Structure 1
Amino acid sequence: MSSAGDSLNPGDTLNSSTYIVSAKGKFALGFFQRIESATQNSYLAISEIADQSSGFNFFVWFGSRVNPIVNNSSMLTLDNKGTLKVVHQGGDPILLFSPPQPNENTVATLLDSGNFILKEVHLNGSMKQVLWQSFDYLADTLLPGMKLGVNYRTGQAWSLTSWLTELIPVPGAFTLEWDPKGLELVIKQRGVVHWKSGVLRDNQFENISPDITSMYEFNVVSNQDEQSFSFMYKNQSQKLQYWLLLSIGQLQNDVQVAIARADKCDGYNIDGGCQRWNQPVCRHHGDTLVLDRGHFVSEYDSSYYISDANLGFSDCEATCWGNCSCVAFNNLFENSTGCKFWTNISDFVANDWPYSEFVYILSTIKHSQSGKEKWIWIGTGITFAFVILACIVCYLRRKRKAVLQENKETDEETELLNLVSTDRSIDVNEVPNDRKKRPDVSIFSYECVVAATNNFSLENSSRSKLLDWKKRFNIIEGIAQGLIYLHKYSRLKVIHRDLKASNILLDESMNPKISDFGMARIFNQNELEANTTRIVGTYGYMSPEYAMEGLFSIKSDVYSFGVLMLEIVSGRRNNNFHHADHVLNLVGYAWDLWKEGEGLELIDPTIGDSCNEYQVLRCIHVSLLCVEDDAIDRPTISNMLSMLTNDSSQLPLPKKPAFSIGRKTTVANISKKELEVYTVNGLSISDMDAR
Structure 2
Amino acid sequence: MLSDGGNFVLQDRNSVEIWASFDDPTDTLLPNMEIGLNNRTGERQYLVSWKNDNNPPSGYFVTGITWETPPQLFTWNGSSPYWRSGPWDKSTFMGIPEMDSSYFSGYVLQQDPQQGTAYFSGDTTNNSLLGYGFISPGGVLALITWDYGSKSWLTNWAAPSNSCEVYGTCGPFGLCNSLNSPICRCVKGFMPRSKEEWNSRNSTRGCIRETELNCQKNTSRSASMQVKKDVFVQMNRMKVPDSAEYLSDIGDEGGCQSWCLNNCSCLAYSYVGTIGCLVWAKDLMDMQEFSTAGQDVYVRVAHDNTGMSIQTKLIISISTMVGIVSIGAAIFSLCKWRASKRDKTGEMSLGNAWKDELKQDDASELTMFSFSNLHHVTNNFNATNKLGQGGFGPVYKGKLNDGKEIAVKRLSSSSGQGMEEFKNEIILISKLQHRNLVRLVGCCIEGEEKILVYEYLSNKSLDTFLFGIASGLQYLHRESNLRVIHRDLKASNILLDEKMNPKISDFGLARIFEGTQVLLNTHKVVGTLGYMSPEYAMGGIFSEKSDVYSFGVLLLEIVSGKKNTSLYYQGHHFNLLSYAWQLWSEGTGLDLTDEAIVHTCSTSEVMRSILVGLLSVQDHATDRPNMSSVVLMLSGESELPQPRPPTFTFKSEIPSHDIRSQRECIFSTNTITNSVVDGR
- For normalisation by structure 1, the TM-score amounts to 0.30
Larger relative contact order, structure 1 or 2 (CA cutoff 8 Å, min sep 6): 2
Bigger radius of gyration:
1
